[in-house]
Amino acid sequence: MSILTFRNVSLRYPQRAGNRPGGDVPVLEGIDLQIASDELVAVIGRSGAGKTSLLNLAAGFIAPTTGTIAVDGVPIQGPGADRAVVFQDDALYPWLNARDNVAFPLKLKGVPVAARRERADKLLEKVGLAEAGDRPIWELSGGMRQRVGIARALAAEPRFLLLDEPLGALDALTRSRMQEFILRIKAESGAGTILITHSIDEALLLGTRIIVLSPNPGRLSAEIEAGFSAEVLSGASVAAVKASPLFKRMHAGLTGLIHAAPDDEVAA
């Protein structure tokens, strides 16, 4: 069991030259957060609330202005394979076929060719793309590409999966199929997961916990436990779960929370 901890984290971007004077632009303020291996924490909030910044901090792509981010008590020093990221625009390597994309983290570790090929094929099978290993990634559909991206992240055997709106660019039908897929993958891998999303439906359905960020500067404005993912995992149909009165009530509640945030000019 690993724990990813944000302790009193804030993030400010320095004011660019030419802008009005007045100091730095605050993006996130006073973030305290713990994510354990058995959790899927869905982060929602309006555009500009700092959702992606939160994920970039967890990934180590950017350093917090104040506060610390730690894995099992050890402060992170930049990005690392213990926190694998899945990007909205998949960020697969077009010069590699699907299998070599999945094998990429193994190549970085120096795993021999045959072994990483075998492991990559297993992972592709796991994400339902057993036949796609030799295909160039530009031939794959958006949903397939995201599954390759998730398989690639899993190949790094991360302790945490950081999903940055992985389903944001997909059509509605693919998206709902991918939501169940992510639930199962997360349950099997046992990696603590942060899911950034725009969709309240998606957050409620997938998250064991839902965090609402309010903008200007981004703060945690609400934290809600949800159990719908467990229902789906134990066999309930997504449609039935979404139709339940509790789901609808929580959906309405979250919608209210997101829109109740002060309606200042949204910072990019």
Partner 1 sequence: MTLSTEIATLPQQAGRERSRPARPLPVAAISTLTVAAILGLWSLASAYTLVSPVFLPSPRQVVLALYNLAVKGFVDATLAEHVGASLIRIFGALLASIAIGIPAGIAIGTSRVGRGILDPVVEFLRPLPPLAYLPLVIIWVGIGEASKITVIALSMLPSIILSTSAGVRSVSKDHVNAARSLGASKGQVLAEVVLPSAVPSILTGIRIALGAGWTTLVAAELVAASSGIGFMIQSAAQFLVTDIVIAGIVVIALIAILLEYLARQIERRLVPWASHR
Residues that bind partner 1 (CB under 8 A): 59-61, 78-81, 83-85, 87, 89, 91, 93-95, 104-105, 107-109, 136, 138, 152-153, 155-156, 162
Q: Residues 203, 104, 124, CA angle at the centre, nearest 5°?
A: 60
Nearest approach, Cβ of residue 207 and partner 1 (Å)? 22
Nearest approach, Cβ of residue 63 and partner 1 (Å)? 13
Nearest approach, Cβ of residue 17 and partner 1 (Å)? 18
Give the residue with the Cβ less far from partner 1, 80 or 253.
80
Give the residue with the Cβ less far from partner 1, 81 or 267.
81
Q: Residues 10, 11, 16, CA angle at the centre, nearest 5°?
A: 150
Measure the CA–CA gap between 150 and 190, rounded to whole angstroms. Answer: 14
Nearest approach, Cβ of residue 94 and partner 1 (Å)? 4
Measure the CA–CA gap between 58 and 78, rounded to whole angstroms. Answer: 9
Nearest approach, Cβ of residue 251 and partner 1 (Å)? 31
| Residue 41: both structure tokens together | 């924490």
- Does residue 223 sit in helix, strand or coil? strand
Give the residue with the Cβ less far from partner 1, 105 or 192.
105
Nearest approach, Cβ of residue 137 and partner 1 (Å)? 8
Nearest approach, Cβ of residue 225 and partner 1 (Å)? 28
Measure the CA–CA gap between 204 and 137, rounded to whole angstroms. Answer: 31
Give the residue with the Cβ less far from partner 1, 31 or 59.
59
Give the residue with the Cβ less far from partner 1, 107 or 198.
107
Give the residue with the Cβ less far from partner 1, 67 or 80.
80
Helices of type H across 110-244: 113-126, 142-155, 172-189, 200-206, 228-233, 238-243
| Contacting residues for 69 by C-beta, under 8 A, at least 6 apart | 4, 5, 6, 7, 9, 57, 58, 60, 75, 76
Q: Are 222 and 255 in contact (CB under 8 A)?
A: no
Give the residue with the Cβ less far from partner 1, 86 or 211.
86
Cα distances (Å, whole numbers) of residue 133 to 22, 81, 91, 137, 246: 53, 23, 17, 9, 42
Cα distances (Å, whole numbers) of residue 56 to 11, 134, 149, 187, 224: 11, 31, 17, 23, 22
